[in-house]
Amino acid sequence: MANPIQAIRGMNDILPTDTYLWQQVESTLQNILQSYGYSEIRLPIVEKTELFKRTIGEATDIVEKEMYTFADRNEENLTLRPEGTAGCVRAGIEHGLLYNQIQKLWYQGPYFRHERPQKGRYRQFHQCGAEVFGIGSPDADAELILLSARILHKLNLKPHVSLQINSLGSPEARAAYREKLVAYFTTHQAQLDEDSLRRLTTNPLRILDSKNPALATIIQNAPKLMEHLDSESKEHFQKLQHYLKHAGLEFTINPCLVRGLDYYTKTVFEWVTTELGAQGTVCAGGRYDGLVEQLGGKATPALGFAIGLERLILLLQQVEKNLPAKQIDAYVTSETDDAFQKSLEITDQLRDRFPGHCFVLHCGGGSLKNQFKKADKIGAQFVIMMGEKEFSEKSVAIKSLRENKPQEMITWNTICDYFKDKIS
Ligand code: ATP
Ligand code: MG
């Protein structure tokens, strides 16, 4: 036998035992986003490498070491998308969606980063993202954050996550702060690790995001961006907090929350959990007022977030005892060829009458007894049986496999009615 080929490390198959939960989560997200007036946008998985370099930033983890980049057959430099905002902004400009209008978009799909695979961190993962274009005022920040809160609430995850917010200010305020930060960390250079030393010259704000416990104290004592915000950003952040408090949403201000992408301005936020080990961020986002212009569009304020679906689902599996499971309402069996042909018809009638439910018709023959065993094994609620005798009497025998009740004889034309109050 030939050696079986295995999947690429960090790129997972999502198996039938899990896809039902994925579908439920995806449809919850989609319903909520649509109910807030967001429209779906579907974007390519591959983009020009330049797009990500220009948006995410050259000196970020993603661009420096995580992108799947390759030359295609025409020697064009392409990259498997590591995140969604860049492509969304690119498409928005390209199709004139962002010009003098408010645009609310959502998308969902696979993303790729060459990271070290571990629980909650994969090389192919999935995000559901939402982006709002054309509103610069903090009411939009508040509504977006409240939308993310509603998603978590609907999934019963609210008790397991907490909201952190911060403001990164204007690019000018951040540049001035950057100098202060470099001066501070330079005086503590001896204590920095290799990563932070490199970031000191490339992207010093990212040092604040270091997970190295040895750096906790110097990071704690570093100058805070919050104290160097420009007045507009300060006011924006105050207003956002006011809205969130008024809406009854709890949050903490985390002055070290800087996010791993360069394009953010003003508001940034994350929903974090302590229940998934080191991979604790399930949803992350913020404002990126400069990005549309930076990519060649007209200056357009914008903001958005992305939810990591694997982490969301891991968390659900960890904390929810009663996860929705796929249910087979009835398994339809038959003893003879004539009975099979009638069963085909009846099973379709049931499917028409009870949309969203599941009726499985037995194929492959075998004794009624073996077919019955199969119905039980796959977890059907009911088994519908049509032996020779039932066929001759234009009826079926129906037995509940989950409740201890005697089997009943039901005529063909009343089968659908029989299930009316038995199928919820
Ligand atoms: P982290 O700090 O965990 O590396 P990040 O800041 O790189 O996250 P973003 O780029 O903001 O993450 O992506 C948004 C969300 O997508 C994250 O909060 C997380 O839930 C999810 N995510 C990011 N990278 C991965 C990955 N490699 N595997 C699974 N989920 C991921
Ligand atoms: Mg990351």
Q: pLDDT for 296-309, tens place per residue? A: 999 999 999 999 99
Rounded average pLDDT over 208-225: 90
Give dist(CA 221, CA 119) in Å, integer. Answer: 31
Q: Residue 206: which pLDDT band, with cuts at 50, 70 and 90?
A: confident
Atom of ligand 1 nearest to the CA of 312: 20
Q: What is d(CA 410, CA 373) in angstroms, rounded to the nearest whole number?
A: 21
Q: What is the pLDDT of residue 209?
A: 85
> Which pLDDT band, with edges at 50, 70 and 90, does 94 fall under?
very high
**Environment class of 318 (CB within 10 Å of its CB; exposed 0-12, middle 13-18, buried 19+):** exposed
pLDDT of residue 343: 98
Predicted local distance difference test score (pLDDT) of residue 420: 94
Q: Is the CB of 126 under 6 A from ligand 1?
A: no
Question: Ligand 2 center to residue 121 CA distance, Å?
Answer: 8
Distance CA 229, CA 173 (A): 6
In the predicted structure, residue 261 carries a pLDDT above the cut 80? no
C-alpha span between 382 and 330 (Å, rounded):
5
pLDDT-derived band of residue 10, with 50, 70 and 90 as boundaries?
very high
Nearest-atom number in ligand 1 for the CA of 121 is 28
66 neighbors 113 (Cβ within 8 angstroms): yes
Question: Can you name the residues that pair with 409 across neighbouring β-strands?
Answer: 397
Q: Is the pLDDT of residue 260 over 80?
A: no
pLDDT of residue 272: 97
For CA atoms 268, 274, 277, 283, give the dihedral sign.
Answer: negative
Confidence band of 61 (pLDDT split at 50, 70, 90): confident
Q: How far is the CA of 96 from the centre of ligand 2 (A)?
A: 31
pLDDT digits (tens, 9 = 90+) for 108-118: 999 999 999 99
pLDDT confidence bin for 263, thresholds 50/70/90: confident
Residue 423: its pLDDT value, please?
A: 87
Going by pLDDT thresholds of 50, 70 and 90, the confidence category of residue 42 is very high
User: If you average pLDDT over residues 376-403, what whole number do you get?
Assistant: 96
C-alpha closest to that of 325 among 316, 333, 312: 316
What pLDDT, on a 0 to 100 scale, did the predictor assign at position 322?
86
Which ligand is the nearest neighbour of the Cα of 83? 1
Give the single-character DSSP code of 326. -
pLDDT for 278 beyond 90 = no
> Measured between alpha carbons, how far is residue 96 from residues 80, 129, 132, 293, 296 in Å?
24, 20, 15, 13, 12
Q: What pLDDT is attached to residue 60?
A: 86
Residue of 92, 225, 224 whose CA lies nearest to 171: 225
CA nearest to 47, candidates 90, 10, 17: 90
Q: Which atom of ligand 1 is nearest to the CA of 261?
A: 10
Contacts 24+ apart (CB under 8 A), 29-35: 29/106, 29/108, 29/128, 29/151, 29/307, 30/106, 30/108, 32/147, 32/150, 32/151, 32/154, 33/106, 33/128, 33/130, 33/147
Is the torsion defined by CA of 369, 370, 371, 376 positive or negative?
positive
